[in-house]
Amino acid sequence: MEKEENSEESEMMIYKPLPVEVRVTLEQHSLLLGPTQSSIKKGEDTFLMSYIQTRTPVIPEELTTQFKKNFPLKIGRPAKENKKTRTRKKVLTSIEKRRLGLHKLPKTGIKYKACAPLHQLWVEYMENFLELENSAKAANKDLLYQRIAKADYHGCLLMVTRSKCPSYIGAKGIIVLETKNTFQIICEDDQLRIIPKRDSVFTFNVSKWTFTLFGSHMNIRPSERAARKFKSKPTIDL
Amino acid sequence: MTANVCGKKMNVVGSDGFHRMNFLYQASVVMLNAVPSCPSISSFYGTNIVSIGKKLQLKLDPSLKRTMCKGCKGLLIPGKTAEVRIQKPLTSKKKKKRQKKNNKIQVWKCLLCECVKNYILKSDYILWSEHTVPTM
């Protein structure tokens, strides 16, 4: 019975009138008046604006600009992702190394305290490698000097004593990276300093000994220094 | 540099280089743990290890060499810097000829440089350096 009545009503009116509560809210938002043509052209959707204002706790300021945006649908297939799987050549080219950021160290990421275990490791390595007790007794110290030239300086606590450029003098820190021309040092203020080897004199301590390095004679890649034979020169200076 | 062989001290050729390479390997491990935000440091030390080996003609033991990525020369730690997966044996016609079809493959992928290294898992295979009994 009820169903028949409903069907009759539905035949007369396809859409039932809106319930009372909804009508009230709509009136508040002035939709019953209907959006004027000028406002449609401007893009001001007043109902949406006021509806969102009532619901959100904080009114975002960019609402009006965002509402004016058009989001056209893209026609066509989405572009395929280029999957660059490197399976053939394993060794990285220099361009690829640059893209990955493997050629540089970040200036602010590394902390001085974090490098302390590296320094301890280096001190143990040098004490073992240089065999300082034996060389103290030996008259000829050539072996010691050769070993210093071949040694690795990553983790060494280095200090710049003399330099042609006055701003480098007094710089002290742990060597994080050694390149052909530079020492890259982490100073106590967590700053990475890149100090060129040329025209500078460095000193470092191992147990009770202090050693001086003349940077201008050490302008060689660290790996090639392991194979080099250094000749003694009459005068060494800046 | 002297080495202890059967209680006697012997001069090993190139031991200076070995000492340095050993130190650099340990340094790269330390720096990976100390400064995880900057993985390029360990790859710098790795390139030094490889180039010292080239200059002084020294070889790395496979146990160390296998933990270093061939592309960026950084340390490969499964879970941290490397992804280890096991692949099913290949079934294509070309591979059947090489008789690799029945063996699973362990794939090591470096997360930094995306270099892939495949190891074929044979149950009976022993590395030359790991032989306990001397064989010809």
Q: Which ipTM did the prediction report?
A: 0.82
Chain B closest CA to A227's CA: distance in Å?
Answer: 6
pLDDT of residue A197 exceeding 80: yes
Q: Which residues of A touch B115 (CB under 8 A)?
A: 86, 90, 92
Q: Which residues of A touch B (CB under 8 A)?
A: 84-87, 90-92, 96-97, 100-106, 109-111, 114-115, 117-118, 121-122, 125, 128-129, 147, 150-152, 154-155, 176-177, 221-224, 226-227
Please provide the CATH number assigned to the domain covering A112-226.
Answer: 2.30.30.210
For residue B91, the enclosing domain spans 2-130
Helices vs. strands in chain B: H and E counts, helices first: 4, 5
B-chain residue closest to A122, CA distance: B23
User: SS3 sequence, chain A?
Assistant: CHHHHHHHHHHHCCCCCCCHHHHHHHHHCCCCCCCCHHHHHHCCCHHHHHHHHHHCCCCCCCHHHHHCCCCCCCCCCCCCCCCCCCCCCCCCCHHHHHHHCCCCCCCCCCCCHHHHHHHHHHHHHHHHHHCHHHHHHCCCCHHHHHHHHHCCCCCCEEEEEEECCHHHCCCEEEEEEECCCEEEEEECCCCEEEEECCCEEEEEEECCEEEEEEHHHHCCCHHHHCCCCCCCCCCCCC
Task: Please tell me the least confidently modeled range out of A70-74, A123-127, A185-189, B83-87.
Answer: A70-74
Mutate to test the interface with B, among A86, A120, A124, A152 (most CBs of B within 10 A): A152
When pLDDT is averaged across residues A161-169 and rounded to a whole number, the result is 92
Q: Do A151 and B20 touch (CB under 8 A)?
A: yes
Residue B44 within a domain: yes
Question: How do the domains of chain A map onto residue ranges?
Answer: 112-226
Residue B38 within a domain: yes
Residue B135 within a domain: no
| Predicted pLDDT of residue A1 | 46
Q: Which residues of B touch A (CB under 8 A)?
A: 1, 16-17, 19-20, 23-24, 26-27, 30-31, 34-35, 37-38, 40-41, 43-45, 47-48, 51-52, 54-56, 70-72, 112-117
Domain count, chain B: 1
| Predicted pLDDT of residue A160 | 94
Q: Do A125 and B38 touch (CB under 8 A)?
A: no
Q: Do B51 and A128 touch (CB under 8 A)?
A: no
Condensed to tens digits (0 to 9), the pLDDT of residues B28-83 reads 999 999 888 888 899 999 999 999 999 988 888 888 999 999 988 999 999 888 99
| Predicted pLDDT of residue B10 | 62
Handedness of CA A171, A176, A178, A179 (dihedral sign): negative
Task: Please tell me the least confidently modeled range out of A61-75, A170-184, B53-67.
Answer: A61-75
Q: Which residues of B touch A145 (CB under 8 A)?
A: none
Residue B91 within a domain: yes
User: Cα–Cα distances in Å, from A143 out to A108, A179, A202, A216, A223?
Assistant: 39, 25, 21, 22, 19
Chains A–B, number of C-beta pairs less than 8 Å apart: 106
pLDDT of residue A3 exceeding 60: no
Both tokens assigned to B32: 């990976």
| Predicted pLDDT of residue A91 | 80
Mutate to test the interface with B, among A85, A90, A145 (most CBs of B within 10 A): A90
Facing B38 at nearest CB: one of A85, A86, A109: A109
